[in-house]
Amino acid sequence: MKKINLVLGTLCLGLTMSAQPGIVETRPANDPSGKILTMEETILARELAPDNLYCQWVDSQNILMRKDGQWKVWNIITGEYRDYSAPRKMRDAYTQGQSLYLRIGPDVTTPIAVSENSDITYGQFVSRNEFGIDGGIFWSPDSSKVAFYRKDESKVTSFPLLDITTRTGSLKEIKYPMAGMDSENVRLGIYDIGSCTTVYADADDFGYDQYLTNISWSPDGSKIFIQVLDRSQKHMHLNMYCSKTGELIKTLLTEDNDRYVEPQDPIRFIKGSDRFFIYRTDNRDGYRNLYLCDTDGNIRRLTCTDADIDYIANDGKHVWYTSAEVSPVEKHLYRIPIKISKSAKTPAQVKIGKPERLTHEAGWHTIAMSPDCRHFIDSWSSLSVPRVTDLCKGDGKTVKNLLTAPDPTMDHAYTEISLGTVKSADGKYDNWYRLIKPKDFDPSKKYPVILYVYGGPHSQMVKNTYMAELRRWEMYMAQRGYLVYVQDNRGTANHGAEFEKSIHGQCGQAEMADQMEGIKMLMSLPYVDKDRIGVHGWSYGGFMTISLITNYPDVFKVAVAGGPVIDWKWYEVMYGERYMDHPDRNPEGYARTSLINKAKDLKGRLLICQGAIDPVVVWEHSLSFIRECIKNNVQVDYFPYPCAEHNVMGKDRVHLHDKITMYFEDYL
């Protein structure tokens, strides 16, 4: 979450610079007489989305896809279609309630682990889905064993959520580990199906509230690998365990960082080898690159580029990956040859060739590789290209175009969208933005500006995709006479470790400084009304919204913040302590970033919207800010959604965006 040479990026994009500084590429406006978006169409309808062709590999020769409204399986060799019926698993593991069960036949189940009490859950995600965790059940390659998480929340405090749908109202208690407070305990069990026995991995590197992440198996299932992270998230051990006994065999490598280590990926073994595997980290050379490792703990850099990389697949002869080395707003597929001789004992003895770029059209390429790596599906778009999906060979040669989507906005009055860059506040980086101009734009007129902001870790708001990742509400507002501006800043993804970790201990500070550089650029434009600038964001973006209007009260006239983090001490341990450290170790940072201390500085119009049963950013945040405004006799507007969680959905979402729009219409 890189310092990019703008000239190089522009050449690789195949674009020309316009007269306006910072603009790299522009999507021209459609016919201004076209249809104007309605709010329902903006929020709920899907007819204006690019016609994405859903494709998924069934095996190395068959692709599951939608055809004529039906699920079909297409054979890439014969070209024939057949009806699809989902295979029924004869053996499966699942959580029911808080206990874990094994299904061994159509009507036969057996318990693997039965929950002892309401604080203990088996087989579900842990650590609130951080560290790349998205589940809690991990099958061995031969399906003879299944590993699972055991989560103990007995020390975690509860937070009450109010359910108003019952006759007298009722409270639902959720476990919510706040920064600086007691957290959950996680263990990894390994169940042997043949013997019906369970052992637990001897993972006790850092004590009770450590994190066990990115579980993976050796190809023969004899070993299991865990990335064990301490609570401070500054130290990580990649450990190898015996899957039969749970005993620690050895620590293969360690990662240490004064700010934080953030493991995101399991290891992936090289096909045909039970010794060599691929590991991804940004902690060694400044960018998320791939490393070739062995089970003796030797490590060698595999990809040598100053760009963030995502692993795709390997067949034992090549490794495929996507990279941001052309530009941080583009993603392209590469492959690099590797040759492991029979005599190779360490990564240093493996022959690594030169990487080869396989995708060349400017834009963002999403890749689905076949199991045998002989083919891949390349689905891509760019600022002006809605969607192209191609079937390609493993060397990048196109076999067949599966979809070239028409422009779904052709009959709508979509306005001009520009993609460009502005320097970060420290002058080291190019931050990318999209700028949407109003309908019937007249450069001799003055227009109000809405800054839409998120700005938090793991986000990337601006990409060279169809309409540059536009959220349709932005176009809705542009069609009604607003300039809409969206920019990434330091702390966001795909620019390297230094860019991403610069926010550590002081969330919001570097982000605000970078966003203000974008605002300064906008204010230099002759058609921007400097006295009518508003800001809107949700979640981390809500935190940024209130941060901006209270820190720069003379710039921002109107703000709408949704589900905002107000004080990081009320946010969850896993995320909060990674970026802000423990409250006892960073009291100054927590005090500086707290918006409680900023309530008195509010001058403009601020609307806060909040889901009243939000389990992510709990109600304590926004209500505490309102209380502080009352204490300081500061007027603020507030609108709760009584039955909504963190993301307001369905018809409530239409109402929400009507409310947001009306607020800007009334006051900006």
List, for residues 556-566, the tens digit of each pLDDT value. Answer: 999 999 999 99
What pLDDT shows up at residue 55?
A: 87
What pLDDT shows up at residue 621?
A: 98
Query: What would the mean pLDDT of 212-239 be, rounded to a whole number?
Result: 98
Rounded-to-integer distance, Cα 414 and Cα 399, Å: 34
Backbone angles phi, psi at 244, to 5 degrees: -85, -40
Q: Which pair of tokens denotes residue 175?
A: 């476990």
Evaluate whether residue 601 is within a structural domain: yes
Evaluate whether residue 549 is within a structural domain: yes
Residue 21 has pLDDT above 80, yes or no: no
Q: Is 657 known to be catalytic?
A: no
Evaluate whether residue 525 is within a structural domain: yes
Catalytic residue among 539, 547, 594, 622: 539
Rounded-to-integer distance, Cα 237 and Cα 258, Å: 15
Residue 3 has pLDDT above 60, yes or no: no
Q: Are strands 62-67 and 145-152 parallel, antiparallel or unpaired?
A: unpaired
Of 168, 133, 162, 160, the closest CA to residue 148 belongs to 133
pTM above 0.85, yes or no: yes
Residue 14 has pLDDT above 90, yes or no: no
Evaluate whether residue 180 is within a structural domain: no
Evaluate whether residue 190 is within a structural domain: no
Question: What is the tally of structural domains in the chain?
Answer: 1
What pLDDT shows up at residue 69?
A: 76
Please list, residue by residue across 604-635, b when 16 or more beta carbons sit within 10 angstroms of its beta carbon and e when fewer do: bbbbbbbbbbbbbbbbebbbbbbebbeeeebe
What 8-state DSSP symbol labels residue 107?
Answer: T
- Quickly state the pLDDT bin for 49 (edges 50, 70, 90): low
Evaluate whether residue 580 is within a structural domain: yes
Q: Domain span at residue 543?
A: 6-49+409-667
Evaluate whether residue 40 is within a structural domain: yes
Helix (H, G, I), strand (E, B) or coil at 309: strand
CATH number of the domain where residue 596 is located: 3.40.50.1820
Residue 19 has pLDDT above 60, yes or no: no
Query: What would the mean pLDDT of 431-456 be, rounded to a whole number?
Result: 98
**β-sheet bridge partners, residue 290:** 280
Neighbours of 56 (CB within 10 A): 11
Neighbours of 245 (CB within 10 A): 12
Look up residue 532 and give its amino acid: R
Q: Distances from the Cα of 251 to the Cαs of 63, 245, 254, 627, 645, in angstroms?
A: 40, 16, 8, 50, 41
DSSP E strand stretches across 193-331: 197-200, 211-217, 223-229, 235-242, 248-256, 268-269, 276-281, 289-294, 299-301, 309-314, 318-323
Catalytic residue among 315, 430, 581, 614: 614
Q: Is 154 known to be catalytic?
A: no
Backbone angles phi, psi at 576, to 5 degrees: -60, -45
Please list, residue by residue across 328-339, b when 16 or more beta carbons sit within 10 angstroms of its beta carbon and e when fewer do: bbbbbbbbbebe
Catalytic residue among 202, 646, 652, 655: 646
Which residues, 6+ apart, have CB-to-CB distance to 265 below 8 Å?
132, 214, 279, 280, 311
Q: Is 332 known to be catalytic?
A: no
Query: What would the mean pLDDT of 206-224 be, rounded to a whole number?
Result: 97
Evaluate whether residue 279 is within a structural domain: no
